[in-house]
Chain A
Amino acid sequence: MGIEINPTSYLAQGRTLFLLIHWIGNLSFAYIVARRLQPLLRAQRDPRFDRPLARLGNVAKFWFGQWKHPRYRLAGSLHILIFAGFLLLAMRAFTVLIVGVSPNFAMPGLTGRAGELYENATDYAATVVFLCMIFAIVRRVVFKPARYAVPERFGKAHTADAVFLLGLIGFLMAADSLFSGAKAVFLARQGLPDHLATVLSLPWLFKTALASASLSTIGALFFSAYLLHEIVFYFLLCYRPFGIQFHVETSLFNVYFAKLTKGTIKPVRWGIDDANLDHVKSFGVKSFEDFTWKHMLDFYSCADCGRCSDNCPSHAAGRPLSPRFLSLKARDYAFEHYPMFGKAGNGEALVGNLYSEDEIWSCTTCGACEAECPLLVEYIDKIVDLRRGLIDDGNVPQSLQKPLKSLESRGNPYGKMEKKRAEWTAAKDFKEACPVQVLDKKNGADTLYFVDSVTSYDARMQSIARATAKILNRAGVNFGILGSAEKDSGHEARRFGEETLFLALRDHNTEAIQKSEAARIVTADPHAYNALQHDYKDVPPVEHISQTIASALDAGAIQFKPIPANGKVFTYHDPCYLGRHNEIYDAPRHVLDAIPGLRRVEMERSRDRSFCCGGGGLMLFYEPKEDERIGVKRVRMAAEAGANVIVTACPFCLTNIEDAIKVAGLEAEMTAIDLAELAEQQLESDSPASTAEALPELERELIAGR
């Protein structure tokens, strides 16, 4: 018998064809990628080439390590399998393609035993990927996970596209397996050693199925499987840049170039420092080309997984914003205005055409989207840039114009007088018990308590200031405040796009802080904390009060007395700017757990999965169109967790949550309290029982505009 035909001889007939397909496929791909790069060449600069080690670390953790994927257990596992399979199969695919043109090609290092092991591994990999594709298709079509749904205003469902792509990949796996299986049969017939078609793998199944097929059938299947594989491979390669599957190519770069600095916003223009901003005619993103190249790469890299929108509090509340579609719409815009053939780009206005104003103003900058995205797509910088553009054009909702103007004229968004900023220290019972000094030429201290606007002026939140002062006092901290020299930290002014105003506030405060000669700053306001930590330069190190209390506890400087057994179950709500943006999760919990007898439960969405309260600063003035208040949703989550007291460490969270409790009609079942208030209440004292400062029914002058 001994038919001395190398299976590749079957392929040899098609060598020219295959070569042609290689050429066309690769050239097309190169052309397509070049066109896709075009808008990036017109985009704003974005320096992402620094700190290569840190960037490689990110690649190792988030790209290779698929770090974020398990946050959604099922989909994450599926993806990890598929991704691992792809990586493993990469060299096999390459080999397969070359073999059609160069029959005895083998990857260097993958010959002999290593090659066999590799074959075995990739047989299983192909099988697993194939099964994953079937699973994924069924999941899409039958189970339809909610986060894939497309709201009507954004168009048709993406199911068909998804199934198409998944099907193609499955087909590719099948074709490859058929090719291998047929080859294995042939070799077996020849009596040649067959290390192909590892047991119970897909290739093995094909091999078994073809065991008694005729040689010509085998040959035909061998050839056609190869051809189909090659065609589908190149089709997929060239098709990927036309949709979400482009992330297969771009993900590595997107992760490498991801933002390394947390908590701060990109400058108006990279390369132009604050002092020279006067020369920049137009601020912010108004047309597509105003985005930086990395932002455009983000749009290409979005995989339409929906995890961002699934965690977005605005989206959950029914506001117009959906981060996922922020990316997809921009991507589609790029595809439309930078086509494969024809003229590129037209610089048309984004807001009003692609995005609505409400979409852009709805964002609370909570960062849940960025925390969730497996591809490290950035959102906050884009929203801020879009807002900068709106502010530059004067296109601002009336409800926001007033507080912005007040920030400019009075240094606080409520329009209250500067000289009343320290009025909270003058409260009758408080003043004698805990005098607070204003730092000036005569009075110095090594700690500055930065109070910020809401805590200074809002009658309800002033009790946080008093509680904080009492705690600092008890802990033996020598501190003072800036008093009327303090202006709003400007944290929200910046995030709402009023960069110039922010810079003015920042410069004023920086000078005041430096003049006070304080060596460290303490604040009870996470927004102020974030600003001082990340947005401000040249100021002393800053600490949040929860950290101060935790240290004081550990040092034995303060003790807590037990909480009475009154059926109160506490839960801690992680404020976005303390938790997610600054990763301070444990200090507040440590403080709560140090209170004897305090029963604490954890909400399902906690730590970096915490659900925003609705937003702080200027967000309190914005009037959104929504189905249900963000804060109300959060209050219900607390109730679901079995709590009847929500503890939070941010005055804005407290405002939103207390409001939400009222709006939801849950006053009888739920209360809220600030961490500092609670801690102060529970301070062990040797003097006669200090009655905790009952939360008084004080006037709420927050937005009365008086």
Chain B
Amino acid sequence: MEILVCARRVPDTSENEIVLNAEGSDIERDDLVYSINEPDNYAVEEALQVVARTGGTVTVVTVGGEDDEEILRREMAMGATHGVLLTDDCFAGSDGRGIAAILKAFVQRNKFDLILTGVQAEDGGAQVGGMLAAMLDYPFASLVNAIEVMDAGKLKISREIEGGNREISEIDLPCVLSIQTGINEPRYVGMKGIRAVASVPVPTYGAAELGIEPSTVGLAGAMVKRVDYFVPAAGKGAEMLGGSREENIEKLLELVAAKGGLK
């Protein structure tokens, strides 16, 4: 099975303090540690496990610049067969639809049986997978937490729905799936592995090679644009108890009792 995983390099939220820069136009990026978007990493691990069963290759693709190559190398160190960078000045500022369009162009120049993305990135949009599928006219499923390969070009998948329940469906290949964290336990990628792929060539493709009309992507083609970043005023929020611990506990229990919470 030929699997494509669409990945993204993002600031690692658990290892960074996200603060606004002085102008408020962006977050402060100087000291940030970047890594592959966590759900995308789960997607790559899942792809590797699938091809371990079925044979085939795993290609990891990202839309970005030079800096984003590092996640491709990391996933190749993990076991992915190919890493591909889609880069062009005119891609900058793309909204979700723009990214999906760029990926679509790449997909159409190749043959993939299955396309995976992580369910969402740090912007919480969860959009690229679904859009890509619609553009390609492939069936789609989001929040996938289990994949079983059936015969005759079908998969049995499980989706995470409310209450911890799982929705089981059958889906035809080729399709697009967005992968939820926790689907597997991604293998460790050691420094040795990363060093080993440090000089493996990563093919890059731009708008021309992909046949993309620049005005349809990037900032120019975006229908949705971020205006600014801000930290909202605290608002009413909680009534903060400021006394000593003893005082806070007493007050807390008073309120709980008033709400009928003490037996």
Contact of B15 among A278, A404, A410, A499 (CB under 8 A): A410
Contact of B196 among A278, A410, A419 (CB under 8 A): A278
- CB atoms of B35 and A409 under 8 A apart: yes
Give the interface centre of B31, B185, B190 by most chain A CB atoms within 10 Å: B190
Contact of A705 among B14, B187, B193 (CB under 8 A): B14
> Which stretch, A181-189, A368-376, A389-397, touches the partner chain B?
A389-397
- CB atoms of B188 and A404 under 8 A apart: yes
Is A149 in contact with chain B by the CB < 8 A criterion?
no
- CB atoms of A408 and B191 under 8 A apart: yes
Is B134 in contact with chain A by the CB < 8 A criterion?
no
Q: Looking at the assembled complex, report how far the CB atom of B187 sits from the nearest CB atom of chain A, in whole angstroms.
A: 3
Contact of A395 among B15, B187, B193 (CB under 8 A): B187
Chain B residues numbered 145-198 whose CB sits less than 8 Å from any CB in chain A: 185-193, 195-196
* Residues on B with beta carbons closer than 8 Å to the beta carbon of A499: 192
Give the interface centre of B15, B31, B35 by most chain A CB atoms within 10 Å: B15
* Residues on A with beta carbons closer than 8 Å to the beta carbon of B185: 398
- CB atoms of A500 and B190 under 8 A apart: yes
- CB atoms of B33 and A409 under 8 A apart: yes
Is A406 in contact with chain B by the CB < 8 A criterion?
yes
- CB atoms of B35 and A500 under 8 A apart: no
Q: In the complex the two chains form, what is the Cα distance from A396 to B190 in whole Å? A: 10
Contact of A394 among B31, B33, B78, B196 (CB under 8 A): B78
Q: In the complex the two chains form, what is the Cα distance from A233 to B33 in whole Å? A: 69
- CB atoms of B190 and A498 under 8 A apart: yes
Chain A residues numbered 490-547 whose CB sits less than 8 Å from any CB in chain B: 498-501, 504
- CB atoms of B15 and A498 under 8 A apart: no
- Chain B, Cβ-Cβ closest to A278: B195
* Residues on B with beta carbons closer than 8 Å to the beta carbon of A277: 192
- CB atoms of A501 and B190 under 8 A apart: yes
B1-40 to A contact mask, C-beta < 8 Å, 1/0: 0000000000010111100000000000001010100000
* Residues on A with beta carbons closer than 8 Å to the beta carbon of B78: 394
Q: In the complex the two chains form, what is the Cα distance from A416 to B35 in whole Å? A: 15
- CB atoms of B31 and A419 under 8 A apart: yes
Q: In the complex the two chains form, what is the Cα distance from A392 to B186 in whole Å? A: 14
- CB atoms of B14 and A395 under 8 A apart: no
- Chain A, Cβ-Cβ closest to B78: A394
Q: Looking at the assembled complex, report how far the CB atom of A84 sits from the nearest CB atom of chain B, in whole angstroms.
A: 50
* Residues on A with beta carbons closer than 8 Å to the beta carbon of B15: 406, 409-410, 415-416
Chain A interface size band reads: 20 to 34
B73-88 to A contact mask, C-beta < 8 Å, 1/0: 0000011000000000
- CB atoms of B35 and A405 under 8 A apart: yes
- CB atoms of B33 and A401 under 8 A apart: no
- Chain A, Cβ-Cβ closest to B185: A398
Given A278-B196, A406-B15, A705-B14: A391 in contact with B33 (beta carbons within 8 A): no
Q: Looking at the assembled complex, report how far the CB atom of B195 sits from the nearest CB atom of chain A, in whole angstroms.
A: 7
Interface of B is mostly: loop
Q: In the complex the two chains form, what is the Cα distance from A653 to B191 in whole Å? A: 29
- Chain B, Cβ-Cβ closest to A499: B192
- CB atoms of B188 and A500 under 8 A apart: no
Is A283 in contact with chain B by the CB < 8 A criterion?
yes
* Residues on B with beta carbons closer than 8 Å to the beta carbon of A395: 187-188
- CB atoms of A396 and B188 under 8 A apart: yes
Q: Looking at the assembled complex, report how far the CB atom of B184 sits from the nearest CB atom of chain A, in whole angstroms.
A: 10
Q: In the complex the two chains form, what is the Cα distance from A317 to B35 in whole Å? A: 37
Is A17 in contact with chain B by the CB < 8 A criterion?
no
* Residues on B with beta carbons closer than 8 Å to the beta carbon of A501: 190-191
- CB atoms of A417 and B188 under 8 A apart: no
Q: Looking at the assembled complex, report how far the CB atom of B180 sits from the nearest CB atom of chain A, in whole angstroms.
A: 16
- CB atoms of A394 and B190 under 8 A apart: yes
- Chain B, Cβ-Cβ closest to A390: B188
* Residues on B with beta carbons closer than 8 Å to the beta carbon of A283: 192
- CB atoms of B31 and A500 under 8 A apart: no
Q: In the complex the two chains form, what is the Cα distance from A391 to B186 in whole Å? A: 13
Contact of B191 among A400, A417, A418, A504 (CB under 8 A): A504
A210-249 to B contact mask, C-beta < 8 Å, 1/0: 0000000000000000000000000000000000000000
Give the interface centre of A393, A396, A419, A504 by most chain B CB atoms within 10 Å: A396
Q: Looking at the assembled complex, report how far the CB atom of B48 sits from the nearest CB atom of chain A, in whole angstroms.
A: 10
Contact of B33 among A392, A415, A419 (CB under 8 A): A415
- CB atoms of A500 and B192 under 8 A apart: yes
Given A398-B185, A410-B33: A415 in contact with B14 (beta carbons within 8 A): yes
Q: In the complex the two chains form, what is the Cα distance from A404 to B194 in whole Å? A: 14
Given A409-B33, A500-B195: A394 in contact with B14 (beta carbons within 8 A): no
Q: Looking at the assembled complex, report how far the CB atom of A398 sits from the nearest CB atom of chain B, in whole angstroms.
A: 6
Q: In the complex the two chains form, what is the Cα distance from A391 to B16 in whole Å? A: 26
Q: In the complex the two chains form, what is the Cα distance from A417 to B190 in whole Å? A: 21
- CB atoms of B187 and A396 under 8 A apart: yes
Q: Looking at the assembled complex, report how far the CB atom of B222 sits from the nearest CB atom of chain A, in whole angstroms.
A: 31
Q: Looking at the assembled complex, report how far the CB atom of A143 sits from the nearest CB atom of chain B, in whole angstroms.
A: 46
* Residues on A with beta carbons closer than 8 Å to the beta carbon of B33: 409-410, 415
Among all A-B residue pairs, the 9 with the closest Cβ atoms: A394-B187, A396-B188, A415-B15, A500-B191, A500-B192, A501-B191, A394-B188, A409-B33, A401-B188
- Please give the residue numbers on chain A whose beta carbons come within 8 Å of chain B beta carbons, in ascending order: 277-278, 283, 391-396, 398, 400-402, 404-406, 408-410, 415-419, 498-501, 504, 705-706
A-B contact pairs, 29 of them (CB 8 A): A277-B192, A391-B190, A394-B187, A394-B193, A395-B187, A396-B188, A398-B186, A401-B186, A404-B190, A409-B33, A409-B35, A410-B15, A410-B33, A415-B12, A415-B14, A415-B15, A415-B33, A417-B16, A417-B17, A418-B31, A419-B31, A498-B191, A499-B192, A500-B190, A500-B195, A501-B190, A504-B191, A705-B14, A706-B14
* Apart from A398-B186, A401-B186, A415-B12, 5 more pairs, CB < 8 Å: A278-B196, A394-B79, A409-B35, A416-B15, A498-B190
